[in-house]
C-alpha cells in the first residue's frame, strides 16, 4: 500500500525535519492569526474602541471553546503519531472514527451551554456596558458555528499526526482569504458590526473543513491505513486512550484560557480604554505565540513518534534543536516590538489614549517572548510523551495557582493595578519549565507505558 502521506520522523536529520514540518505550520498559524486580527482591525476602525472591546471579550470566550476542543485534537495528534512510531498503523482509522464521534458530541454540549448562559457569560467577563451587545453577538455566533471550527481543527490535527503540515496550510490559506473578504463585505459594506466579523470566521472555517474532509476521503487509498464511514462510532478500545489524554490536555488548554479570562475580567473593570488595550495586546500575543505553537505542534508529533519507537536519545536531540532554532527568532521578534511599538499599536487604533496605555505594556513583552521560546520544547515533550497525569497537574498549577494567584497578588494585594495583572500573567508562563526540568531529570518518561499501550 502507498504510504506517501505518512512521514517518518524516527530517523534522519532532525533539524531539516523540524524546519520542514514547522514552516507550513507557522504559515498556517500566521494566516489564521491574520484573519483573526482582521476582525479586530476592521471592527476597531469601523466601530472604534467599543468594537475593540467587543471583539476582545467575545474572542476570549470563543477561544476558550476552541481550546477545549483542541485539547482532544492535540491528544489525537499525539496518539496517531505514537501509532506510527510503534508500527500500529492498522489502528489509526478506527481511532479517527472514535475521535470524530466523541468530539462531535462535546461540541453539541458546549454550544448548548453557551446559548443557555450567554447573558451570564457577558456579566462574568465584566464587559463594559457600551460593548456588551456586540460582544454577545460575536461569541454566540462563534458558538453556533463551533462544529465547523472544530471540524477544521480536527482534520488539521489528523494530518499533523500523520506528519503532514502542508495540507493544513493549504486549507487555512483558503479560509484566510475568504474570511478577510467576508469581513470587509459584512462589516464595511453591510454594517453588521461584530456579528459580521464572527459570521465571516464561521463561514470561512466551514468551507475549510469541507475541503479538508473531502481531501482525506479522496486520498484515503494513500493514507497507509483503512478509513471507512462505518468507523465513525464509539469504540471502547480507542475511546479510552483518547479520553485519558484528551481530558487533561483539554483542561490544560482551557484552564489557561479560563485563567486569562479571569485576569481579563479584572482588567475590563478598569474601563473601556484598558479593555481595548487588552484586545490589542491579546492579538499581538497571538501573533507572537504562533511561532511557539508551530514548534510545539511539530515537536509533539516528532517526540510522539520517537516515544512510540522507543528512541529516547533522539527525543532529547529534538528538544535541543528546537531550542537552538527558536531562541534567536524571539530575539528578533522582541527587537521589532521595542523599536516600532507605536507603529504596531496604531495598526489597530488611532485612539491616542488607548495607545498611551498600551505603551506601558512594553516591559511585559520581555517576559512574554522569553516564555514563548522556552515553552515550545517543554510543551512538545510533555504532549509527546502522552503523560496525562502530568498534563493535568501542570494545567492546575499553571492556570489556577500561578496565573490567577500571581495576578491577584500583584494587581490587588501589591496595588499595581492593571500592570500587576499583566505581570502576573506573564510570569506564570514560566511554570511549565520548572515541571519539565524535574520530570526530564527523573528519567521516568523513558520507562512509563506510553498512551497507546494497553
Predicted confidence at residue 36, as pLDDT, reads 67
Distances from the Cα of 257 to the Cαs of 64, 302, 385, 394, 398, in angstroms? 6, 26, 23, 14, 11
- Give the Cα separation of 74 and 384 in Å (integer): 10
pLDDT, mean of residues 305-325: 90
Lowest-confidence segment of 26-35, 236-245, 271-280 by average pLDDT:
26-35
Residues 44-74 as b or e (16 or more Cβ within 10 Å = b): bbbbbbbbbbbbbbbbbbbbbbbbbbbbbbb
Q: What percent of the chain has pLDDT over 90?
A: 17
Predicted confidence at residue 2, as pLDDT, reads 43
Query: What's the mean per-residue pLDDT of the chain?
Result: 83
- Residue 15 burial (CB count, 10 A): 14
Predicted confidence at residue 224, as pLDDT, reads 67
pLDDT, mean of residues 277-290: 84
Report yes or no: 90 and 225 within 8 Å, Cβ to Cβ: yes
Predicted confidence at residue 280, as pLDDT, reads 86
CA atoms within a 13 Å half-sphere pointing along the CA-CB vector of 373: 20
Q: What percent of the chain has pLDDT over 70?
A: 94
CA atoms within a 13 Å half-sphere pointing along the CA-CB vector of 402: 21
- The per-residue DSSP string of 299-352 comes to HHHHHHHHHHTT-HHHHHHHHHHHHHHHHHHHHHHHHHHHHSHHHHHHTT---H
Parse the chain into domains and list their residue ranges.
14-446
User: Using one digit for the tens of pLDDT, what is the confidence trace for 93-152?
Assistant: 888 888 888 888 888 998 898 889 888 888 887 777 887 888 888 888 888 888 887 887
User: Using one digit for the tens of pLDDT, what is the confidence trace for 154-174?
Assistant: 888 888 877 777 888 888 888
Position 452 pLDDT exceeds 70 = no
User: Using one digit for the tens of pLDDT, what is the confidence trace for 198-235?
Assistant: 898 889 888 888 888 888 778 777 766 676 777 777 77
Record the pTM. Answer: 0.71
Report yes or no: 322 and 377 within 8 Å, Cβ to Cβ: yes
Q: In 3D, which of 146, 204, 195, 156 has the Cα closest to residue 176? A: 204
Predicted confidence at residue 1, as pLDDT, reads 38
Predicted confidence at residue 338, as pLDDT, reads 92
pLDDT, mean of residues 434-447: 83
- Give the Cα separation of 385 and 453 in Å (integer): 12
Amino acid at each position: 500500500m502507498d504510504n506517501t502521506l505518512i512521514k517518518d520522523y524516527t530517523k534522519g536529520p532532525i533539524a531539516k525535519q523540524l524546519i520542514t514540518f514547522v514552516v507550513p505550520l507557522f504559515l498556517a498559524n500566521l494566516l489564521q492569526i491574520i484573519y483573526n486580527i482582521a476582525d479586530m482591525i476592521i471592527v476597531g476602525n469601523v466601530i472604534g474602541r467599543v468594537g475593540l472591546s467587543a471583539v476582545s471579550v467575545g474572542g476570549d470566550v470563543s477561544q476558550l471553546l476552541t481550546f477545549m476542543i483542541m485539547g482532544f485534537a492535540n491528544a489525537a495528534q499525539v496518539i496517531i503519531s505514537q501509532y506510527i512510531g510503534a508500527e500500529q498503523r492498522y489502528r489509526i482509522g478506527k481511532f479517527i472514527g472514535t475521535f470524530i464521534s466523541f468530539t462531535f458530541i462535546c461540541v453539541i454540549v458546549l454550544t448548548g451551554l453557551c446559548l443557555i448562559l450567554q447573558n451570564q457569560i457577558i456579566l462574568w467577563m465584566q464587559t463594559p456596558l457600551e460593548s456588551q451587545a456586540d460582544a454577545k453577538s460575536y461569541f454566540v455566533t462563534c458558538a453556533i458555528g463551533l462544529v465547523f471550527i472544530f471540524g477544521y481543527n480536527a482534520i488539521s490535527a489528523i494530518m499533523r499526526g500523520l506528519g503532514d503540515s502542508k495540507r493544513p496550510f493549504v486549507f487555512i490559506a483558503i479560509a484566510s482569504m475568504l474570511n478577510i473578504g467576508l469581513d470587509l463585505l459584512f462589516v464595511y459594506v453591510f454594517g453588521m458590526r461584530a456579528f459580521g466579523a464572527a459570521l465571516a470566521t464561521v463561514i470561512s472555517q466551514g468551507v475549510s473543513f469541507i475541503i479538508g474532509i473531502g481531501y482525506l476521503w479522496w486520498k484515503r487509498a494513500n493514507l497507509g491505513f483503512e478509513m471507512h464511514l462505518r468507523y465513525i462510532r464509539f469504540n471502547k478500545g480507542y475511546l479510552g486512550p483518547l479520553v485519558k489524554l484528551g481530558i487533561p490536555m483539554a483542561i490544560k488548554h482551557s484552564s489557561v484560557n479560563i485563567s486569562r479570562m479571569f485576569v481579563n475580567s479584572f482588567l475590563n473593570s478598569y474601563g473601556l480604554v484598558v479593555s481595548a488595550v487588552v484586545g490589542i495586546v491579546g492579538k499581538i500575543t497571538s501573533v507572537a505565540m504562533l511561532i511557539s505553537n508551530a514548534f510545539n505542534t511539530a515537536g509533539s508529533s516528532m517526540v510522539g513518534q520517537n516515544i512510540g519507537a522507543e528512541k529516547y536519545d533522539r527525543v532529547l536531540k529534538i528538544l535541543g534543536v528546537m531550542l537552538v532554532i527558536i531562541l534567536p527568532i524571539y530575539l528578533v521578534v522582541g527587537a521589532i516590538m521595542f523599536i516600532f511599538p507605536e507603529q504596531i499599536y496604531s495598526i489597530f487604533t488611532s485612539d491616542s489614549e488607548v495607545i498611551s496605555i498600551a505603551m506601558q505594556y512594553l516591559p511585559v513583552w520581555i517576559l512574554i517572548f522569553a516564555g514563548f521560546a522556552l515553552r515550545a520544547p517543554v510543551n512538545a515533550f510533555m504532549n509527546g510523551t502522552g503523560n496525562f497525569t502530568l498534563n493535568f497537574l501542570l494545567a492546575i498549577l499553571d492556570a489556577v495557582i500561578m496565573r490567577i494567584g500571581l495576578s491577584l497578588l500583584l494587581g490587588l494585594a501589591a496595588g499595581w493595578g492593571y500592570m500587576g495583572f499583566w505581570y502576573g500573567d506573564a510570569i506564570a508562563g514560566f511554570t511549565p519549565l520548572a515541571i519539565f526540568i524535574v520530570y526530564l531529570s527523573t528519567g521516568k518518561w523513558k520507562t512509563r507505558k506510553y498512551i497507546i499501550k494497553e
